[in-house]
Structure 1
């Protein structure tokens, strides 16, 4: 019952927040605008799969995770700085219920933004494209929602672990930079130290598992499995020595072709969703542990 009260309060606060709705409205509008620009600027009309890949690339890997971090990083630290957290904690709520309630409320907001964009993109697809893979679009929208909610969990966990807005903001920016920008060269560097060479077309399974432990790469792996085609990371580094002809053939960069022998279960597409869920649990677990011992006075 206490958790429900916290969630209801969070949804009420979100509905009253003009800043949050402005941010989310800009995100959805920017996504639709980019889709229109790509369609108008392309020499040939993009296929349904290319349209979905663009949704997963710009929206999934850039716009929605950044919005998720913005929505989540002030969830608790903002109320701690204003002192309103003491009032909330004075009611019959445990700190864990406050944390989970904040997460559910913020996750609901970002999920609404993704679904709103999905509806708009679906409408555009029907109007602009000859054929629309609606099932794939729905599955990719679901994967994008899970990915964005993962970053909400990370941001709320950071917010619960810090006492100042500046540290929470730095933590949120650092999390995105680590997982989306520099994770690939870090993992490639580990491969070089162990194997003594750069990553080639075929690589050991542990390399792809270590790379997948980043939420960003778990997301691209999940979308690749849904579309049955390789979806590259938005911030991709030239750290792998792959022959140019491999890029020209569709599907050759799927993990099933780059790992010798049978693909391990932890590199199957469904396991990428498990990784994202694990990050939510880990971030909230660490945040809850630190939040329980924090001095709210």
Structure 2
């Protein structure tokens, strides 16, 4: 938790960030989440040691295991970021100081970002050790692309959660809304939502002719009907999968001076989707929080 300790020392001008981080550390929540995420990584590796092989993108492939876990961790870390201030009555005390409601939302988000990145860093370190142990090394570009994509994906869910927290009247409401979003955007995206999209456009709910869900490379290289490649990436998980490999391809092309082999359009759209999931709920939540009656 060195990152949290450092930020607590460097945040005297943002008292809510410092106080929030102190509360999180004292509650032991971050230690529990860090341990749980590390255990999940190790358990997944123990269940399938072949997931790490000598392929050139083994680190990126292993990071895909975070697709379904990370949103849940982001929800747990961020769900009470703002609503806790309302439930405890602390928000009125804070607003009595030289600050604004928008500033409170921003500070609450920053505190949870630091906490989330601290938890994620421990798990990434374990993944790195496992991959290096079995393959011998991880390329710098592969590491940067993978870690950047995972962080963006997790922060997208965290931003959405904190945004909902700024609009909700209780922590239960936040958890309920975010679990519904999780179910629709991950658990039901392929078997239901994506098929409804296909049915609306093509008249058929069959996806086989549109895209092969089991192969991340197909997502990245955008093989399929153009409309579906964009609609497919409206789901954060699919946007994340494409971003992981696309960012690696782009970094390789920049360093080597070669051209990018993968199409930019759908993949950049996927990056935009993740940024939108991060920013838009925060903006709406901040706008709502500035106007809601706190009495």
Question: What TM-score comes out, normalization by structure 2 length?
Answer: 0.78
Whole-Å Cα distance in 1 between the matches of residues 52 and 170 of structure 2?
49
Structure 1 segment 152-231 matched on structure 2, within 5 A: 152-184=158-190, 185-197=192-204, 198-199=206-207, 200-201=209-210, 203-226=224-247
- For the 8 Å contact 2:33–2:119, the answer to whether it is kept is no
Shift of 1:26: 1.7
- For the 8 Å contact 2:105–2:286, the answer to whether it is kept is yes
Aligned equivalent of 1:83? 89
1:67 paired with 2:73, answer: yes
Please give the secondary structure, in 2, of the residue aligned with 1:175: helix
Shift of 1:54: 4.9
Aligned equivalent of 1:286? 284
Shift of 1:77: 1.6
- For the 8 Å contact 2:59–2:138, the answer to whether it is kept is no
- Larger displacement relative to structure 2 (110-119 or 4-13): 4-13
Structure 1 runs not aligned, ≥5 long: 229-254, 257-262
Shift of 1:48: 4.6
- Superposed CA RMSD in Å reads 2.6
- For the 8 Å contact 1:2–1:92, the answer to whether it is kept is no
Distance change in 2, residues 1:102/1:173 (3 Å): same
Aligned equivalent of 1:236? none
Whole-Å Cα distance in 2 between the matches of residues 97 and 291 of structure 1?
11
Please give the secondary structure, in 2, of the residue aligned with 1:47: coil
Aligned equivalent of 2:31? 21
- For the 8 Å contact 2:166–2:289, the answer to whether it is kept is yes
Whole-Å Cα distance in 2 between the matches of residues 271 and 62 of structure 1?
21
- For the 8 Å contact 2:57–2:142, the answer to whether it is kept is no
Distance change in 2, residues 1:294/1:49 (3 Å): farther
Whole-Å Cα distance in 1 between the matches of residues 137 and 161 of structure 2?
38
Q: How big is each residue's C-alpha offset from its partner over 1:234-271, in whole Å with a ceiling of 9 and x where there is no partner?
A: xxxxxxxxxxxxxxxxxxxxx96xxxxxx4x431x344
User: Number of residues paired by the alignment?
Assistant: 259
Structure 2 runs not aligned, ≥5 long: 1-10, 211-222, 250-260
Whole-Å Cα distance in 2 between the matches of residues 90 and 28 of structure 1?
41
Please give the secondary structure, in 1, of the residue aligned with 2:154: helix
Match 1:6 to one of 11, 16, 22: 16
Whole-Å Cα distance in 1 between the matches of residues 82 and 248 of structure 2?
38
Match 1:92 to one of 95, 98, 109: 98
Q: How big is each residue's C-alpha offset from its partner over 1:58-84, in whole Å with a ceiling of 9 and x where there is no partner?
A: 22x122221001100111122221222
Please give the secondary structure, in 2, of the residue aligned with 1:74: coil
Aligned equivalent of 2:273? 275
Shift of 1:49: 5.2
